[in-house]
Amino acid sequence: MGKPSGFIEYQREPVSDRSPLDRIKDWDEIHEHFVEKKLRTQAARCMDCGTPYCHTGITLSGMASGCPVNNLIPEFNDLVYKGKWKEAYHRLMKTNNFPEFTGRVCPAPCEGSCVLGVIEPPVTIKNIECAIIDRAWKEGWVVANPPATRTGKSVAVVGSGPAGLAAADQLNRAGHLVTVFERADRIGGLLMYGIPNMKLDKEVVNRRVKLMEDEGVVFKTGLEIGKNLSAKQLLDEFDSVVLCCGATQPRDLPIEGRELKNIHFAMDFLGPNTRELWDVKEGKSKEFTQLAKDRHVIIIGGGDTGTDCVGTSIRHGCKSVTQLEIMPQPPAGRNPGNPWPEWPKVYNMDYGQEEAAALYGKDPREYLVTANKFEGDEEGRVKAVHIHNIEWTEDNGRFVPKKVEGSDRVIPADLVLLAMGFLGPENAIVEELDLEQDTRSNVKADYGRFTTNVKKVFAAGDMRRGQSLIVWAMNEGRAAARECDRFLMGTTDLP
């Protein structure tokens, strides 16, 4: 619980980020270094709340409430407050395979359900988590620990995002022979090519992958299952298969002019950017394409992906950046329909919006706006976006967008990025194995069991639940590994 009176004596002080106008000059992580004294003071704010909702990991109103991997948050806060960093590290690793990822990019539903948050700003849980694991790496506490014995059972994990890596890590700990297949040229999936380097430095991903290799996990890149390697071949060669392929089909915007040049899905912009950045860093290439340089960039869609497009475009040197959001601007504080411990749907400026505001003088988001036409030039390149305002009206119990008459306008656009979410998994493996799908096109596998309609094939993460948080993907990867282990051995000791 930290210090009994800490929540009264100390105010919330998150670890600061680097100045927006400084950090946009590079691709380094935006975060400042942690100061131990401040972190221990922040850990002291963890109160004796009786029922710590921060680690419940439940879903309320369709949103995460508490930590989905059930981190023992009050316990590691207390250990940090007392200066027992190594003990805090071991406590954290009981529930979280990769706290260096969640400590950087998780939106922290734990903080949204912190009991202190009912009356005061919540505990800086995410900062403390990240500090624990970063110190563990620095002190050399994180070392390879391969299993003492092997079961002789082999498992193929398809996809190396957070769900796939968590499943592979757990199955390897159980003693199985694990091979992870990744279609990209580097391991990490969304962690590598979906999240820009300034949010999650890829060296952080690489060092964890190297540790897993040292513990016996085999990684194979450049192999797309269902295309250049048969999914049925995996069934023949492995005792079990765990599918963690993500929900990678992007939602499109089929309006007039969609075929014009320089209109891209967000991931087709973010992924190649990171690949080229690291190719240059590793000496594999000398060129780095700055697609947004000197362009008016329009980003359609909010959320983390839209924010990442804002930050990346600014680092390219865009002329301007505008983010179109079809939903209304959230309130400054919780409204009555969004009570604690639900995730607080409140207005905030993420790193990308902060950078845009510092550079251009305002938040780049325009709310309650939608696009209805892309206009092109004589060479077939987009040059403008036609937009109008909308209002949400109720129609037979459903809220639908209705155009606000007289609000039509045209804004210049040399580059348009579509960041409107994802629809579900791609179909190659699904079709080859004839996997059942739910009404949203996700692979059908009950939560808690993770078994598909095909014997010895399991599914987890976004491929099963749809687009979600990294920490939920890790939850599912761990849980699917437990059920896969049970299938292979008849029983399981995995948590």
Q: Is the pLDDT of residue 397 over 90?
A: no
Considering only CA atoms, which of 78, 96, 88 is closest in space to residue 42? 78
Please check the confidence at residue 358 and state whether its pLDDT lies above 90: yes
Average of pLDDT values for 26-53?
94
With vertex at residue 218, the alpha carbon angle to CA 217 and CA 221, rounded to the nearest 5 degrees, is 135
Show the CA angle centred on residue 46, arms to residues 138 and 162, nearest 5°.
Answer: 50
Please check the confidence at residue 33 and state whether its pLDDT lies above 90.
no
Mean pLDDT across 205-218: 98
Is residue 2 scored above 80 in pLDDT? no
pLDDT grade for 338, boundaries at 50, 70 and 90: very high
Backbone angles phi, psi at 109, to 5 degrees: -60, -20
Confidence of residue 343 (pLDDT cuts 50, 70, 90): very high
The helix (run of H) or strand (run of E) holding residue 110 is helix 109-112
What is the 3 state secondary structure string of 345-396? CCCCCCHHHHHHHHHHCCCCEEECEEEEEEEECCCCEEEEEEEEEEEEEEEC
Q: What is the rounded CA–CA span in Å between residue 212 and residue 218?
A: 8
What is the number of H-type helices and E-type strands within the chain? 17, 18
pLDDT band at 216, cuts 50/70/90? very high
Q: What is the mean pLDDT of the chain?
A: 96
User: What's the rounded Cα separation, in Å, for the pair 42 and 124?
Assistant: 7
In degrees, to the nearest 5, what angle opens at C-alpha 469 toward C-alphas 290 and 121?
100
pLDDT at 457: 98
What angle do the packed helices 36-43 and 125-139 form, to 10 degrees? 130
The full set of domains in the chain, from first to last, is 6-139 (1.10.1060.10), 154-249+423-489 (3.50.50.60), 252-420 (3.50.50.60)
Q: Are 98 and 189 in contact (CB under 8 A)?
A: no
Sign of CA dihedral 402, 296, 254, 422: negative
Structural contact between residues 153 and 176, judged by C-beta atoms closer than 8 angstroms = yes
**pLDDT digits over 420-440, tens only?**
999 999 999 999 999 999 999
Provide the pLDDT for residue 396: 86
pLDDT at site 3: 87
| Mean pLDDT score, 252-279 | 97
Eight-state DSSP code of residue 451: B
Confidence of residue 37 (pLDDT cuts 50, 70, 90): very high
Write out the two tokens for 402. Answer: 């209705």
pLDDT digits (tens, 9 = 90+) for 159-184: 999 999 999 999 999 999 999 999 99
Can you give the pLDDT at residue 215? Answer: 98
Share of residues in the chain with pLDDT > 90 (%): 95
Distance CA 469, CA 108 (A): 10
Full-model pTM: 0.96
> What is the rounded CA–CA span in Å between residue 474 and residue 210?
19
User: pLDDT-based confidence at 269, cuts 50/70/90?
Assistant: very high
- Determine the residue type at 27: W
With cut-offs at 50, 70 and 90, classify the pLDDT of residue 286: confident
Give the pLDDT confidence of 429-487 residue by residue, as tens digits. 999 999 999 999 999 999 999 999 999 999 999 999 999 999 999 999 999 999 999 99
